[in-house]
Structure 1
């Protein structure tokens, strides 16, 4: 072993600091566990090394002098003494005998005191959070500057019916939605440990506090326009989805579209309404039970996502017909083909055989890998023909 490989005091400190960083020492302290002396073995010179590298061996032994390492207990051993070699006493292992010596050696006394203060104060507000703190002390220290606000926020949510309020309505001095969004990761961990299982939607990600903890969600809005004569003073309206529970007058046919430009440019159709889905058609339409009583068409992009949304809509309303989502439309617009960057999952149980085969061909790259035809690229002439045919269908 070369002198460069001999253990020096800074190496021991590095070893102990790695274990400190894991949180194991503070966890034991917070749990009230008795301190067990920590021993660290030392790599040092052999008898042959001491003869070959005498000056380095002497300097190494001196760096372990007790007066240079007041927070360590030095355990020694004898080397040499055989075959005529001199016997020498060298450091073999060092010990840290108390927590105070460990904190001082690592220069973390201020952090330890800070953690214990926060732990004691939090235990008076919520013992569950205090138990979590004991298991995750380094996370507590990482958020020490905001800890009191984090605890107050957690306790406020614990004590209130979140279904009745928006996240914005959390009323705590010094806490606003910006603070909550910035700290949603640590808040989610605290909430998971203090709330009953019935108040935690584990299927929602921790990044979505509203869905995971049952806050009042931002309402869904439906935007629709009359394609024929409007019976209202307006040709277009945007309303809350849950409030559009009555069949709009003069709406015998409903077209669901995903693209706003296409939605706005649809030509006139008697007794028809266009609804802008914006990629969330199935989520929006579940509020509209009256759609079962109209002629319903869904028109999306010809790609795997378009067929996935069609599948969802038809799962809600089995009588839904697709519009301009067929092979003839795809092949008739080859100059306008594009690329679908990511494909949707292949779980489609509500498509017609023709739709399912086209969706599979798109997935397999039959015509071109990741082929896509966006609805806004379909010619106005084709749209007019399709709308006219829809009016003739029984």
Structure 2
């Protein structure tokens, strides 16, 4: 035959496609799914094809005559002048998800899907109107779970739905087998199902607070504290600290390398989370200086910081620094699409040049002796290590003394 008629062996491939495309809809609305069907055209031969290869046509018809299994084969009569009236198969129809799944070779999977869907519905009822869709849209994920993990999933979502504001840490959740690592791996799925159950994704649990790293560059500011320490923001806010200046920088090694700086406390900025520092009263009441990378993201972070503290000044984020150390700059792989609105004219000039040339100059690439010189010039006074009244020449810093 010049055009190959569809043999029974090809039906499973087409049923497989239909099954994959439709199973989410079936899970979302099992009642409507029962009226679904799949009709696969078998493309019976024309009279010309019969004449060209009658043995092939006869063999194809016999295969369909002897076929056994699910699905209903529909036959029609064809009247051909040269061959008389012949009955040929024209389509095979599968009724309902079960038959389509069986034709695709996924009976076992479909049984698992329907059983697990029922478990989720029963565990999360009454749920919200979004629950069926949440269960359906996530089926490719929970279907991959073994029975133990699926049991954990049902249990933890049910518990979180029943205790929407527990305030527990994840490790405290009373669900066997569920710990911080398990939630970390499956958090998106848990949040999606929880939203379907109670209308929100918030797990209602406590997270380990972000620690903010601090360097007390003038020990007289907090004489009872270590020079370097880290603490949650709320604990930092409670410190009885009054200082002339806060230096916010993005490089942790730079934070630890800072020498004695009169009237200065340095704080790690944590990138785009820098605005969270504005919750610290003593920081907001100080002269705040921001030292970020010379790239589009650095200026976007500075812009965000100024949205909360408009008087933040920048340090080493100027054209002089860029031109002095351009040889140390590298291409910026993923520039920020944000266009800052709170830059000074000179900062905006640097930002434009960085964006046009696709450059980034990370703060850690700037030679340390130059940083020390600029700190002395910008902050005033003597800088260096201090024990009592001893200071160190800033030009010596960067040669192993800082």
Interval containing the TM-score (normalised by the shorter chain): 0.7 to 0.9
Name the residue aligned to 1:69.
68
Q: CA deviation at 1:281?
A: 5.8
Deviation at 1:188, TM superposition (A): 3.0
| TM-score (ref. length: structure 2) | 0.80
1:377 to 332, 346, 365: 365
- CA 374–69 in structure 1, closer or farther in 2 if over 3 Å, else same: same
Aligned residue for 2:237, secondary structure, equals coil
User: Could you tell me how far apart the structure 1 residues matched to 2:360 and 2:211 are?
Assistant: 28
> Does the 8 A contact of 2:246 with 2:266 survive in 1?
yes
Report SS of the residue matched to 1:94.
strand
**TM-score (norm. length: structure 1):** 0.82
Cα distance, 1:93–1:32 mapped onto 2, change above 3 Å: closer
CA-to-partner distance for each residue in 1:171-193, whole Å, 9 max, x for gaps? Answer: 21132333333333432331221
Match of 1:221 in 2: 211
Gaps of 5+ in 1: 201-211
Q: Comparing 216-225 with 29-38, which one deviates more in the overlay?
A: 29-38
Seen in structure 2, the aligned counterparts of structure 1 residues 190 and 363 have a Cα distance that, compared at 3 Å, is: same
Q: Are 1:49 and 2:49 matched, yes or no?
A: yes
8 Å CA contact 2:243, 2:263 repeated in 1: yes
Poorly superposed stretches of 4+, deviation over 6 Å: none
Aligned pair count reads 373
Separation in 2, partners of 1:362, 1:274: 27
Offset at 1:104?
4.9
> Is the alpha carbon distance of 1:296 and 1:174 closer, same or farther for their aligned partners in structure 2, counting shifts above 3 Å?
closer
- CA shift digits 1:260-282 (9 cap, x unpaired): 23222223222221222242562
CA contact (8 A) 2:164 2:203 kept: no
Which deviations, in whole Å up to 9, do the C-alpha atoms of 1:71-100 show, x marking residues without a partner? Answer: 343332233442x44332222223346776
What residue in structure 1 maps to residue 385 of structure 2? none
- Mapped contact 2:77–2:88 kept (Cα < 8 A): yes
1:187 correspondence with 2:177: no
State the Cα deviation string for residues 87-136 of structure 1 (Å, max 9, x = none). 32222223346776556544444344434433444443233577448845
Partner Cα distance (2:152, 2:158) in 1: 10
Cα distance between partner residues in 2 of 1:289 and 1:240: 14
What SS does structure 1 have at the residue aligned with 2:310? coil
Q: 1:36 to 1:326 in 2, by over 3 A?
A: closer
SS of 1:74 mapped into structure 2: strand
Supply the distance in 2 between the matched residues of 1:180 and 1:353 (Cα, whole angstroms). 47
2: CA distance, partners of 1:292 / 1:28 = 51
Aligned 8 A contact 2:278 2:284 in 1 = no
Partners of 2:72 and 2:94 within 8 A in 1: yes
Taking the aligned partners of 1:123 and 1:338, their CA distance within structure 2 comes to 54
Asked if structure 2 preserves the Cα contact closer than 8 Å seen for 1:31 and 1:134, the reply is no
Q: Verify the 8 A CA contact 1:301 1:374 in the aligned structure 2.
A: yes
Alpha-carbon RMSD:
3.1
Matches within 5 A, 1:216-365: 216-230=206-220, 231-232=223-224, 234-246=226-238, 248-249=240-241, 251-280=243-272, 282-365=274-357
CA contact (8 A) 1:221 1:284 kept: no
How far 1:321 sits from its partner (Å)? Answer: 1.5
Residues 23, 137 of structure 1: 8 Å contact kept? no
Contact 1:20 1:26 in 2 (8 A): no
**Alignment of 1:177 onto 2:180:** yes
Q: Distance in 1 between matches of 2:252 and 2:35?
A: 67
Match in the other structure for 2:16? 17
Q: Aligned equivalents of 2:355 and 2:233: distance in 1?
A: 33
- Secondary structure, counterpart of 2:56 in structure 1: helix
Within the candidate set 102, 126, 151, 2:124 is matched to 126
**Structure 2 segments unaligned to the other structure (5+ residues):** 382-402
